[in-house]
Amino acid sequence: MDDACPLDHRRHPERYRIGRGEQGVMNVEPYKSELLPHWRFKTPELARASAAKLEEMFFAYKAAGDFVGMDMARKYLQMGYTRSRRYAKRPSGRKYDAQGALLPIGEEDPIKAASARIFHAAWRRVREDREYLSMKEQHRERYERG
């Protein structure tokens, strides 16, 4: 494969590493291109539609037996939660200042906090899905543990 072209993880699931938390969320194609356009958290209305679409995509990947797609959809739901929480605590969304010092937590933004709750519920549903957990263990056994 040409180095200029991103690796197609749908064709090469053996190259996918689950990682911690949201690792790889912006690098794993074609999933990034499929999921990112639906990821929104600015308002609870946008978060509700976004979380519903991402969860729908998770179950579509599940129906297709596509663990990598399922895990990536899970990561986008997790990222919706973590980013909403960050903006709920810090209006700029920045955690650190230019010198690397942790910025203080401000008064919680109730709009972003509501968005976070929406994403958290969806993230919890998919990460606890029994078939997802089974496929995750199979993926690790097959590709990550050698």
Query: What are the domain boundaries of the chain?
Result: 23-94+103-144
Mean pLDDT, the chain, integer: 93
Confidence of residue 1 (pLDDT cuts 50, 70, 90): very low
Residues 6+ apart with CB under 8 A from 15: 7, 9
Over residues 87-146, the pLDDT tens digits come to 999 988 888 999 999 988 888 999 999 999 999 999 999 999 999 999 999 999 998 876
Tokens for 131, please give them.
Answer: 């078939």
Burial letters 63-78, b for 16+ CB under 10 A, else e = eeebbbbbbbbbbbbb
Strand partners, 29: 8
Residue corresponding to tokens 């499929």:
34
Higher pLDDT among residues 72 and 21, named by residue: 72
Do 68 and 16 form a contact (C-beta atoms < 8 A)? yes
CA torsion sign, 41 to 46 to 49 to 53?
negative
Q: Is the pLDDT of residue 39 over 50?
A: yes
Q: Which pLDDT value is given to residue 31?
A: 97
Q: Which pLDDT value is given to residue 21?
A: 86
Over residues 108-123, the pLDDT tens digits come to 999 999 999 999 999 9
Report how far residue 112's alpha carbon sits from residue 43's, in angstroms, rounded to the nearest whole number.
7
* CB-based burial label for 104 (10 Å; 0-12, 13-18, 19+): exposed
Q: Which pLDDT value is given to residue 19?
A: 85
Report how far residue 32's alpha carbon sits from residue 57's, in angstroms, rounded to the nearest whole number.
12
